Homo-oligomer: A and B are copies of this chain.
Amino acid sequence: MRIGDAAASAGLTPRALRYYEEEGLLRPRRAPSGHREYGEADVRRLRVIRELLDAGLTIADVRSFAHILDGESAHGTESCAVGRVSLRRLAELDARIARLTMLRERLASRIEARFDTVFDTVVP
């Protein structure tokens, strides 16, 4: 499977795949011609990478525990490191959601105070 199909299978672009390789997240083998060759395991890994990035982790985060993404069991001190990184991101997400929610409330009350007639009629 070459880069175009692999990218499509994982919901990414060829450019992204080359970038991930450049960043050390992936090491597809090469055909004699030089073309990258992706297997099913690579595609699964790409999907995991995409999920993690979508979930707010950075490339560096993913790289820091790339070896564990292979499906191998994580245990010992390594899994603790992974857990700490992930939990830190989770806490950041929570904080951001909280700030946005507070902002939303303030904004809503601001709008309500200033445009209450409009607000009453437009919002059911």
Query: A: which residues have CB within 8 A of B?
Result: 51-52, 54-57, 65, 68, 74-75, 79-80, 82-84, 86-87, 89-90, 93-94, 96-97, 99-104, 106-108, 110-111, 114-115, 117-119, 122-123
- Are B51 and A106 in contact, CB atoms less than 8 angstroms apart? yes
- Set of chain B residues within 8 Å of A82, measured between Cβ atoms: 114-115, 118
- Are A118 and B83 in contact, CB atoms less than 8 angstroms apart? yes
- Are B96 and A111 in contact, CB atoms less than 8 angstroms apart? no
Contacts A99-B55, A117-B79 given; indicate if A107 touches B93 (C-beta within 8 A): yes
Contacts A87-B119, A122-B84 given; indicate if A103 touches B55 (C-beta within 8 A): yes
Nearest B residue to A71, CB-CB: B114
Minimum distance in angstroms from A81 CB to a CB of chain B = 9
Minimum distance in angstroms from A118 CB to a CB of chain B = 3
In the complex, A74→B114 CA distance in Å? 8
In the complex, A51→B99 CA distance in Å? 10
